[in-house]
Structure 1
Amino acid sequence: MRVLRALRPGLPDRRDHHAPHRRPRDGRPSRAAARQRSSPRTRARRRAVLGDGHQAPGHAGATQGSQGVTLEAAGFWGLAAVLLASSLAVVLTRNLFHSVLYLAVALVATGGVFLLLDAAFLFGVQLLLYAGGVVTIVVFAIMLTERLVGERIRQTSRSLVPGALLAVAVLGSVCVFLRRASLPVKRPPLAGALTAALGEALVTRYVMAFELLAVLFVAALLGALYFARTDD
């Protein structure tokens, strides 16, 4: 072998020349040979699907951003389904107390939509003021009314057909508006810390109205306790 290599110095080694193209026993080409003979378009497609081991700067952020948009859309449609189902249950449920509970679910779902729109302050106000305060007042009103009347109150859904037609008309109008509108609309920049400015206004400029509202809520709670007390 050394003599042959010395006589033919210009030829490559036979073992090294045939090593990448060596076929297995079943007649199929090896993976290394198939990878070397693949076209540039195939290699680019494989690199786009599987990745080439390193990502360009900003590629990971773009992937996370696309996943965030997908999760945000899924969360919106989930909250919209919960809001629609709970709103229908509010109208169609005969038990008034159950209807109020479904109303609380609808208000919480609305707060979730505010949270998806990056309005954390409106989300908190929705939970505290509406899902907490308004629902509590309505529950007290139902309990006091049933106690004064002496029988359980049941609601009857009247005019279902006109209400359904009106709902379909409103939905159609919203769909027509969305089709004609130029979407997506650019979100305007926020004008500073709005939440901090609102909190400062509540305790400085509008402090009197804020305190009177608190007194009104306390008076309503005391009145509810007075009427709900037993004769004993």
Structure 2
Amino acid sequence: MSYTKKVFEDNIIKNVQQIVSTTVERNNIMPLVDIIDSTFEILEGIKKFDLEIGEFWNEITSDIIASINSATSGFYRQGIITLRSVLELGCMSLFYYDHRVEFHLFKEHDAIADKYVSKLIREYNFFTTKYINAFCKNIREIENKEDSVSNYLGTTYKKLSDIVHGRYKTLTKKETLKIEYSQEYFSDFIKHLNSVLSILATMYILRFGDKTNLKIVELANKSRTVAL
């Protein structure tokens, strides 16, 4: 099939419009709206502590909207792939908040962006119990178990990486190229979205001690890593 403007409109544009309508009809979209709202609240919260680090969250917020837009349009794998970027940028923002020299090199000297989540945990003890204890002294009283946050973070990152790198079981177009609505794939996207945003919300609250926004606290509690 040769691609023409007419073919593109019929097979992509109109099809996607139908998938969006079906997604909205068959699902409660309000949790997605709440997640976007909570992301904006975290963005504003971080800017109160550090405007430069808040720049990361401008990008994160844009990526979250793009991810949700992809998934509601039938591009489920692409939506999840974007979530790994969200998780990486979120972790980078908090890492650079704590490591100002590295942030200076990253921003002013265009240092390579190699602070992958797995590397941060492995080489910097990022958000392990010992790490969190530097700014949250009662972490051992509220965490689900030792290193619950970093373990959840590492597991979430691994699952997303499997999808990004195309592990066979994660592929969604093995049998057909057609773009179509799938309740199964949309539900799977929602699970990944909740995993990413709940752990980032948890890390935000722990790092800045900000529990004033009940929506963010509710989102963070979905990770079940700490009792907030």
TM-score where L is the length of structure 1 = 0.28
- Relative contact order (C-alpha < 8 Å, sep 6+): which is higher? 2
Higher Cα Rg, which structure: 1
- Give TM-score, length-normalised by structure 2: 0.28
